[in-house]
Amino acid sequence: MSDIKANLQEVQSLINKAEAQAGRSNDSVKLMAVSKFHPKEAVEEAIACGQLLFGENRVQEAVQKFTPILAANPKVELHIIGQLQTNKVKQAVTIAASIDSVDRLDLLKEIEKQCAKLDKTIKVLFEYHTGEESKAGFTSEEALIEALEACKRGDFPHIIPSGFMTMAPFTQDQELIHKSFITLRTLAQKLKEQYPQFPLKELSMGMSGDFEAAIQQGSTMVRVGTAIFGQRNY
């Protein structure tokens, strides 16, 4: 058995165990395979094992790798999960089903503009800054609410606000990691009540090193790279 196949099975079984421990059902957490820095062949191998949900950080790399993959596998769903420059949005929306790293109102405006041109509807997650070290994401609740208010006004008819994403700090301190996930879950609960018109049900949190903690704290989607594809050669 290949490493990728064995790794996918191992990660899935750890996810199921964490779901059970948290008293959650066995299909409550989606596994996103993060394939950045790994070749197209690795993605194809994962697809052959039944993996359909993928995440990529960089638009250029994602377009090269996934344009042929999506053409050959219509059921594959790609999410962009890395910081997105405005001038890369046009390319990103051609391949992505979701932009999970929305961190500013201006980005929503550009996503709307480019999706309108393609007559395409796209999902987005709002990335929120909860860890000390990561710089990504909205850094204030006010800025995030400003973005949601613009959605509520109907400014972005081609965008479906679908939930939230965060990155925990890179630390061994379990308490800090949990604290970061709890911050996002608490904020998401509040905003879900405040904006019932949107399906804000996704909580994308947890990576190779901390997905079990994230599941314990309510994650609905874990983003796992290294534990599936091995170390990245930057």
Ligand X SMILES: *Cc1c(COP(=O)(O)O)cnc(C)c1O
Closest approach of ligand X to the CB of residue 204, in Å: 8
CB 222 within 8 A of CB 206: yes
CB 80 within 8 A of CB 101: yes
Closest approach of ligand X to the CB of residue 97, in Å: 16
177/139 Cα distance (integer angstroms)? 17
Task: List the beta strands (DSSP E) in the chain.
Answer: 30-34, 53-56, 77-80, 98-102, 122-127, 159-165, 202-204, 221-224
- Only one residue has tokens 């890179």, namely 170
54/88 Cα distance (integer angstroms)? 19
Taking CB under 6 A as the binding criterion, the range among 12-20, 61-69, 178-186, 225-233 that sits at the site for ligand X is 225-233
Q: How far is CA 37 from the centre of its chain?
A: 17
- Only one residue has tokens 């800054």, namely 129
Q: By rule CB under 6 A, what string of x and - marks binding of each residue 79-108 to ligand X?
A: --xx--------------------------
Q: By rule CB under 6 A, what string of x and - marks binding of each residue 193-222 to ligand X?
A: --------------xxx-------------
Site size toward ligand X, by CB under 6 A = 14
Closest approach of ligand X to the CB of residue 95, in Å: 17
Q: By rule CB under 6 A, what string of x and - marks binding of each residue 40-79 to ligand X?
A: -----------------x----------------------
CB nearer to ligand X: give 137 or 161: 137
Which residues make up the interface to ligand X (CB under 6 A)?
Answer: 34, 36, 57, 81-82, 167, 207-209, 223-227
